[in-house]
Each structure stands twice: as C-alpha cells, then as structure tokens.
Amino acid sequence: MPTAYCVALRGYEMIMEEMTMTEFEKGLEKTRTVIIPVGTVEEHGPHLPLSTDTIQAVELAKRVAQRMNVFIAPPLHYGFCRSTRCHPGTISVSTGALREMIRDIVKSFHLQGLRSFVILSGGIHIAALNEVGEELLEELREISIAVLSAIDLFPDKGDLVETEGDSHAGEVETSMMLSVRPELVKGRASKEYPALPRAMLVRDKRKYWPGGVWGDPSKASPEKGEKMIHLAVDRVIDLIKKVESHRE
C-alpha cells in the first residue's frame, strides 16, 4: 500500500497537504467539512510503530474521503500520553498545548470557509479535545463539531475481537496495522495487561507495565483489521452526515 497520504476524490485531491490553493478553493465548492486527525508519538509495544495512533486516524480519514466529499487536514502528530510516558519513544505534550493547537487550527479553518469539523483522535486525549470543542462551539456560533476516538469505532466484542478488555497495542490495533501497514508490524508481542496500582499514582509506570501492551496481539490478523476498518468508516460517515446537518 502506498505510504503517501494521497487519494483521488471526484476529480480533486482532498488531502490538504498535497493540494494547491486553487485545488483547495475548488474543493470548497464541494464541501465545507474537514476531518482533523490527531495522533501521538507513543510506544505501542515491541511490535508496532510509535506512529500507530496517527496512522490509524489518517487511514480512517482517507477511507472516508474515498466515499464522500470531505477535506482531510494534515495530521497533528503529537498528543497527550499519560501511562506510557516512561516507555521508550513516547513524546507527550500537555493537554493545554493540545487544546490551544486545536483551537487555533479550527479557527483558521473557519476563516478559510470550513463549517463542519470532525476531530478524529487516535490517542487517549478525548477529554481535552471535547473541552476545546465545547469552547469553540460557543465562540464560533455557525460551526458544528464532533470529537471521537478511533479506537472506540472498532467492535469491542463478537466474532472480530476475541480479547476481553483489549486496548492499547492489542488485538484491535495490531489487526488494523497488519491490514494497512503490515511492513511496520514487527512480529507479535505477548499478551499483557498493566498492573498499575488502583487509585495510586506512580512515577515509574513502566515498572507496572513493562511491555506496553494492553490486550492480546497474538489474536490479530489482517483480515480482522480490514473488517474493523470497514465498520469504523461506516460509523464515521454516519457521524459526518449528522454533523453536516446539525445547526443550532
């Protein structure tokens, strides 16, 4: 699969980082909606790349753009990482910095004529994104906005996901990466769940979660990943239709 974030959409290239200003202006005749992928630079066990969250969010956005008119913003690669800060490779920003970056991005898009916003997060910083989204709704009265987590779009039970409580770098994320970027998957990590003390805050979280995996990657497969992606894209498209029709 090509590594460039490039997809043709009804005669236009709707991946903004590859568009000219003329192409962007023509795109505004088709849509006033943009997906903003928000990822992380974060450990995902010994088998998945640090950019897993970003890759997931961008891939879902690209699949959506193949089926409907929507701009895809350049991804925000850095996010807030709490439990993985002690693991090698994790680069975290504060929730305050993340909120201000999203605020400025949405306001700038608004000046360019965009009115419907879908913030698609690959990380755990949903609370911070929801907070700034609520503030933007009050400030920019004519916009509509949705915030969702990519991991919440995938099925959490049934035939596709066998692992109970699967989460970070487990069956779901490994399956998706096997589907979209198999060359970046380095084998399979062992089943693991964090053993962090309940309610107790600790400095060295890696002591209680050495492998950085939450679930069972051994149950992953590219076939599962592709089915998960199709389901997730359907859900995002349904949400975008609601966002585009919602005005208060």
Per-residue pLDDT of the chain (248 residues; tens, 9 = 90+): 444 434 443 434 699 999 999 999 999 999 999 999 999 999 999 999 999 999 999 999 999 999 999 999 999 999 999 999 999 999 999 999 999 999 999 999 999 999 999 999 987 899 999 999 999 999 999 999 999 998 788 766 567 899 988 999 999 999 999 999 999 999 989 999 999 998 899 999 999 999 999 999 999 999 999 999 999 999 999 999 999 997 65
Query: DSSP labels for 14-37?
Result: -BGGG--HHHHHHHTTT--EEEEE
In CATH, 8-243 is 3.40.50.10310: yes
Domain ranges of the chain: 8-243
The beta strands (E) that lie in the chain are given as 8-9, 12-13, 33-38, 71-72, 116-121, 144-149
Q: Global pTM?
A: 0.91
**Sign of the C-alpha dihedral, residues 158, 241, 57, 130?**
negative
Radius of gyration (C-alpha) of the chain in whole angstroms: 18
Intra-chain end-to-end CA distance of the chain, in Å: 41
